[in-house]
Amino acid sequence: MNGENSPFVMMFDKIGIPGAAGIIQFVVLTAALSSCNSGIFSTGRMLFNLAQQGESPKSFERTTKSGVPGVAIIVSAVVLLFGVYLNYMEADKVFTYVTSVATFGALWTWGTILVTQIMSRRKMSQGEKQGLSYKMPLFPFTSYFTLAFLVFVMVVLGFSADTRIALIVGPIWILLLVALYYMTGLHKRKR
């Protein structure tokens, strides 16, 4: 979208604010940079924490003199730069691909939470169920309804050629994680 023809710019021009396009682009660029900065910071700290727990390479545990997890942040920035490169090469499709795969991840995560909750509640004694500080309203129907909705969203992803990529990449990613879980011996560790 051309910034000069956006509805916001035209609105600001009509009310007499000169340079509205520049102001809006500055705000959008500042927000994007802030988002990238927080993404690199949080990802770097996450990799650092995983290294401390022995669940990612030890090199991510190294810090600079000021205590910044430098290696983890550099790796995070390189992955982000790879995303920038992909966006440059296939700008019209990359955003859809990334959001589709992220949607699959969110659906998988929430589905796992719901299934875990259902299984956990089944194993509880009546006394444990009574002692819950928060009881899910209309349990288990709400959990089953939500699971059905997540499946519906997953099916909808398959209707579009652009979002169908999530249904290919998502399961491959999960299989890769499961394989790594067993190959690295994490399944044998005591919690």
pLDDT confidence tier of residue 27, bands split at 50, 70 and 90: confident
Contacts of 100 (CB under 8 A, 6+ apart): 157, 162, 163, 164, 165, 166
pLDDT digits (tens, 9 = 90+) for 66-75: 888 889 999 9
Q: What is the mean pLDDT of residues 121-137?
A: 80
pLDDT at 14 over 90: no
Query: In this predicted structure, what is the pLDDT of residue 18?
Result: 64
pLDDT at 4 over 60: no
pLDDT at 31 over 70: yes
Query: In this predicted structure, what is the pLDDT of residue 134?
Result: 79
How far is 170 from 150, CA to CA, in rounded Å? Answer: 14
| Percent of the chain predicted with pLDDT > 70 | 89
How far is 126 from 8, CA to CA, in rounded Å? Answer: 58
Question: What is this structure's pTM?
Answer: 0.59
Residue 4 or residue 27, greater confidence = 27
Average pLDDT, whole number, for the chain?
82
Residue 146 or residue 19, greater confidence = 146
**Amino acid letter, 1:** M
Cα radius of gyration rounded to whole Å, the chain: 23
**Amino acid letter, 167:** L
b/e map of 65-97 (b: 16 or more CB within 10 Å)?
Answer: eeeebbbbbebbeeeeeeeeeeeeeeeeebebb
Q: What is the mean pLDDT of residues 9-24?
A: 70
Tell me how many degrees the CA angle 109-36-180 measures, rounded to the nearest 5: 40
Concatenated DSSP letters for 116-145? HHHHHHHHS-HHHHHT-SSPPTTTTHHHHH
How far is 179 from 159, CA to CA, in rounded Å? Answer: 29
Query: In this predicted structure, what is the pLDDT of residue 1?
Result: 47
pLDDT confidence tier of residue 5, bands split at 50, 70 and 90: low
pLDDT digits (tens, 9 = 90+) for 134-175: 777 788 889 899 999 999 998 988 888 878 888 888 888 889
How far is 11 from 20, CA to CA, in rounded Å? Answer: 9
- Crossing angle for the helix pair 20-52 and 7-14, nearest 10 degrees? 140
Query: In this predicted structure, what is the pLDDT of residue 146?
Result: 92
pLDDT digits (tens, 9 = 90+) for 65-115: 988 888 999 998 898 888 888 878 877 777 777 777 788 888 999 999 999
Quick check: 73 and 44 in contact, CB under 8 A? yes
Quick check: 172 and 181 in contact, CB under 8 A? no
